[in-house]
A and B are shown apart, each in its own frame.
Chain A
Amino acid sequence: MSGPGFPARGDLAARAVGVLSFAALLAALSLTLSCGKAAPRPPLLPPDYASWPRTTAVALDYPIPGHMDDFRVIRANALAFRTVRRADPAGDLDFPAGSIVVKQAWPRGAVEGAPGKVYFMVKSPADPAARGGWVWGTLDPATGAEQVFEGAFCITCHANANEKYPYADGNPGEAFRDYVFFPPGLPGADPEGYP
């Protein structure tokens, strides 16, 4: 049919197909985005963490909830040490973003060699997984795989560091220690740390 008065052939059909195609494209796009896997998180713990100085000379071999009777060594990065050196040893602490405290743990009686597990807390208040400003996680030394805990378990215990607690000096003044039980430079400890 090609009468001169007829509208351009396929106008309505082309428009309908266009709208449907656009809707299908949007649906497919939203489905793809909603089903897509999140980008993997880059490693939080630098590989040289084992060379960082220890924050305490206390032999951490007594049982505590969460870490039980593992033999523990606590280290902190240079930023954390610098922060503490500028602070009142008995006062409140506020570690800046980028501060890292790491806890190596060996099962009792196997202190030699690589630790069985590594716990870490990375100060990163902007991170969605952060609790109390810290991202809490573990590292499997055997595989190098990190796991971030997004629950409240870690911070539930570590919140005790901001009040009196039964470890280290006990925090008698109930200073805010930013969830760290053994921060560098506690009264009586070497502010430069221990090898």
Chain B
Amino acid sequence: MGKREREAAGKRPASLAGRINRIVAAILAVGLGAAAFVFAWSLVEARRETTRRSLEDQADFLYAAIENFMLPGEAPIAVAFFEDVRLLSPDYRVELYRSDGRQAFSDGATIADVNARLGRLRFAPREGTSAVVVPPDGARFAEAVAVPPSDVFFTEAAGGRSFYRIYRPLVNLPKCTGCHGADHTIRGVIDLRADVTELALLQNLTVAGTGGGFVLLVLLLALLIGRFMRTVVVRPVREIGALCRQVTDGRFDGQVVPRSSDEIGVLAATVNGMVKGLRERAQLSKYVSSGTIDSLGSDGGRAERDERTLLFTDVRGFTAYTERTEPERVVEVLNRLLERQSAIVHAHGGDVDKFVGDEVVAVFSGEDAARRALESAAEIRREVEGDSAGGAAFDGLRVGAGLATGMVIHGMIGSERRADFTVIGDAVNVASRLCALAKGGEVIACRATHDAAPSLPFKGPFRARLKGKEDWQVVYYLDVAAGSAP
């Protein structure tokens, strides 16, 4: 089942606000996530590089110290210097190796070699055996003592602690060859190791803090942007939707307040204009017929000839009623009577062409127009007669009705200043005469109307002489009281 089908099945569609929030959160997560990752990575690399350079600088200082201690033959001072440096901090270790990996100053081999090369007892022989206190990393150590040599920086972990370490090769300088000979290029390696466990922990805490801050930032920004989008987009769209629902329900009194001049603001103004037009049309429909309103949007000036069924109703004894009743009551009852008749006509697909005093002129067109007109007349008669039997809505007033069917001319009739879309023709005259003929509660139809709906209960035919007609006319009385009437 597709999304639209699910929505059509009554499930709640995804809200625009939720969708926007998800999109915003996704964009922020990707964008800020990348930024946080780069930041954390840069932090780790910066600390690593800083430590590396620091170790390199320390190696340079040690290199210079060793060089200056050894040249005047002050090896014991160099030994003491190294021992003092080792005592500086438990997190910091410095070692000096010969190029073969043995620890320097750990035996008398170098002293014996120098004395032999100089041909005299330049340094007092030293007891002891060579040892490798901290075995150097083989491959990295070999890289450090290769020709050309290079500094080797690396990290390692041991005993649950993290270390940065550097191998710094000592070159056998020409000025060193007097004591140590010229048959080798690298004399040894300075090994510096810094314990960075706390530093790494700090890095991890910083990265974790950055990550937490990133998550909070994403949530906060998503919240703010979501709220902003709800204010700018979702709320105005909802208000426009609510207004459209009101219009669908037949209420045209709503308006949307445009909050901006962007596309949504323009849409709100457009919908307001549309609703205003509909409201005016609804108001206008109270005063003019539907045909007149429809003709406004078309070529209303063009007259046409068509078959129509005309329904005329008239209140019997209305003049006498007005003379004995307060004007306010007269207007109230008449309006109620006209309103009910108008509603019944509309319910049967007819159009109230005009009210003339207490008279209603209605036009029915299209298929089954005569039947619908007769049914309207019957319903009007039932409602009014029912009230006259004891009701107070219409003060006992009664209505007579006349119907005629025939070809009429319809179009805009009137002047440039005032015109109506109405009908003229013989059927109009006949319906009017039949209405005048009908007494209270009677519904009289012409032959054509009767013939168009013969299944309805009629009485007749009867002959009637109508004003303006030389011949007798055949008329029928709708038998509303027969019980089988519509």
Contacts and interface: CB of A to CB of B under 8 A. Distances in A.
B266 interface: yes
A7 B266 contact: yes
Contact of B175 (A7, A12, A151, A164): A164
B266 A157 contact: no
Interface in B234-275: 262-263, 266, 269-270
Contact of A166 (B178, B262, B269): B178
Interface string A50-78: 00000000000011111011000000000
B173 to A, nearest CB: 6
Interface residues of B, number: 21
Would you call the interface of chain A mostly helix, strand, loop, or mixed?
loop
A7 to B, nearest CB: 6
A153 B266 CA distance: 75
A63 B266 contact: no
Nearest to A164: B175
A156 B173 CA distance: 8
Nearest to B265: A5
Interface stretch (B180-188, B313-321, B344-352, B470-478): B180-188
A7 B269 CA distance: 13
A49 interface: no
A164 B262 CA distance: 84
A6 B173 contact: no
Contacts of A36: none
B228 to A, nearest CB: 15
B148 A149 contact: yes
Contacts of B173: 65, 156-157, 160
A65 B147 CA distance: 10
Nearest to B176: A65
Nearest to B169: A153
Interface in B130-186: 147-150, 171-178, 182-185
Contact-residue bracket for chain A = 20 to 34
Contact of A160 (B147, B149, B150, B175): B175
A63 B182 contact: yes
A6 B178 CA distance: 92
Nearest to B175: A160
Interface string B196-209: 00000000000000
A166 B184 contact: no
A151 B148 contact: yes
Nearest to B147: A66
A132 to B, nearest CB: 15
A84 B172 CA distance: 29
A167 interface: yes
A3 B268 CA distance: 12
B438 to A, nearest CB: 53
A165 interface: yes
Contact of B266 (A3, A154, A166): A3
Contacts of B176: 65
A166 B175 contact: yes
Given A151-B148, A153-B149, A68 B262 contact: no
Contacts of A151: 148, 150
A12 B183 CA distance: 76
A163 interface: yes
A5 B270 contact: yes
Residue of A6, A69, A149 contacting most chain B CB atoms (<10 Å): A6
A163 B262 CA distance: 80
Given A151-B148, A153-B148, A153-B149, A64 B174 contact: yes
A6 B182 contact: no
A65 B263 contact: no
B175 A163 contact: yes
A36 to B, nearest CB: 21
A44 B288 CA distance: 102
Residue of A153, A154, A181 contacting most chain B CB atoms (<10 Å): A153
Contact of A64 (B150, B178, B182, B270): B182
Contacts of A6: 263, 266
Contacts of A163: 175
A7 B182 contact: no
B180 to A, nearest CB: 9
Interface string B259-296: 00011001001100000000000000000000000000
A56 to B, nearest CB: 16
Contacts of A160: 173-175
B182 A165 contact: no
A63 B178 CA distance: 12
B150 A167 contact: no
A65 B184 contact: yes
A165 B174 contact: yes
A144 B269 CA distance: 80
A142 B174 CA distance: 29
B270 A3 contact: yes
A167 B147 CA distance: 21
A151 B148 CA distance: 9
B71 to A, nearest CB: 10
Given A7-B262, A64-B174, 12 more contacts: A6-B266, A63-B183, A64-B182, A65-B173, A65-B176, A149-B148, A156-B173, A160-B174, A164-B175, A166-B174, A166-B177, A166-B178
A-B pairs, top 8 by smallest CB distance, nearest first, are: A65-B172, A153-B148, A160-B174, A65-B185, A63-B182, A165-B174, A5-B266, A156-B171
12 contacts: A5-B270, A7-B263, A7-B266, A62-B182, A63-B183, A64-B174, A65-B171, A65-B172, A65-B176, A65-B185, A151-B148, A151-B150
Interface of B: 147-150, 171-178, 182-185, 262-263, 266, 269-270
Interface of A: 3, 5-7, 12, 62-66, 68-69, 149, 151, 153-154, 156-157, 160, 163-167, 181
